[in-house]
Amino acid sequence: MKAPGNTPCIRLPEWESTLGLDGIWVKDESANPTGTYKDRRSAAIVQQATKQLVDKLVLISAGNAAYSLAKYAEDSGIEVHAVIDRNLTAGIKSVLQRVCKQVIEVELGAKLLQSDELIAMVRTSPGELIWNVSNGFHDAYKQIVLELQRDLPHQPDSIAMPFGGGEAMVGVALGVADARWQDRTTVVGFHNNQSERLKTSAFCKAYVTYLRADKMPCTPVIDMTTSEPLDGVQRNYVPAGLRVEEAGSNTFQAVRVFAHNDRQENKVGNHFGKNIVIVNSGYGKVLEEAGMANT
């Protein structure tokens, strides 16, 4: 599997003109090998697991994370076991059953599964070394900021991205600190009602607490729940030609709505500043293979 990263940074001059911004770019993570920024984390997991002679990896996933991890682990000899919600769409479930060693269906909303419970689900002998990788490995996302530092003409005022499970936003915030951008660059995260259940996990709560610390260059995570249908959000707010999944669509929507409102009220970059980067988390190939391709 090709190494992740070095994804393109695409400028949006039409948005700059319409919204009165100096610069707006998209860090397009859909260009990663399996179509999602989760590839950065998957590669890091498999690299470390291989060094530690891990036998099995288990994770809770809605599709992208398990697919990406299974693809990166293909030639490693490490088994990938996916724990999914029993109501996950049949197409995604079928794809995961093909690429993962095992797919376990549970009612994720009924109980918060602990790490030892997940590991017990896939253990078949006492000597196996098994890692639960549902969360963590957020350092893998620092590289996004290093690539922005290399590719952008100047430091952005803000980096807008989906909150997701939290680890990507933490990694980007740490990357901002490593780049010594925290004096000016703020990381802004968004979630919607479709991802709200994820926020109940202990890891996500820890991430939110960490992001709220004074030392972190972040705003509180912003709720972008909307009654507008997904196809309407993508049609009205996502630039043509970009492959973007639901959480990413809400991020584009948020930037456009807030920036438009700021301009109407004569506020100068009240939410995002005048130079903005939107991180497009991608549109995973698991969705394409499941017959849910975004065109």
Shared-domain flag, residues 203 and 91: no
Identify the pLDDT of residue 79. 98
Count the alpha carbons within 13 Å of 243 in the hemisphere toward its beta carbon.
18
- In the chain, which residues have pLDDT < 50? 194-200, 268-269, 295
pTM value is 0.90
Shared-domain flag, residues 160 and 17: yes
How far apart are the C-alpha atoms of 270 and 158, rounded to whole Å?
A: 11
Identify the pLDDT of residue 195. 47
Identify the pLDDT of residue 234. 74
Helix H or strand E segment including 251:
helix 246-264
Last residue of a domain, one of 68, 100, 132: 132
How far apart are the C-alpha atoms of 189 and 62, rounded to whole Å?
A: 20
Identify the pLDDT of residue 200. 43
Q: 201: which 2 tokens? A: 């996990």
Shared-domain flag, residues 124 and 183: no
Identify the pLDDT of residue 196. 44
Shared-domain flag, residues 150 and 45: no
Shared-domain flag, residues 168 and 198: yes
- Listed residue (39, 55, 44) closest to 7, CA to CA: 39
Last residue of a domain, one of 75, 103, 132: 132
Shared-domain flag, residues 31 and 92: no
Identify the pLDDT of residue 96. 98
- Listed residue (227, 172, 139) closest to 29, CA to CA: 172
Q: Which residues contact 165 (CB under 8 A, 6 or more apart)?
A: 134, 135, 198, 201, 203, 204, 207
Shared-domain flag, residues 231 and 263: yes
Tally the domains of the chain. Answer: 2
Shared-domain flag, residues 208 and 175: yes
- By DSSP bridging, strand 56-60 and strand 275-280 are unpaired
What residue numbers bound the domain in which 282 lies?
A: 9-37+138-289
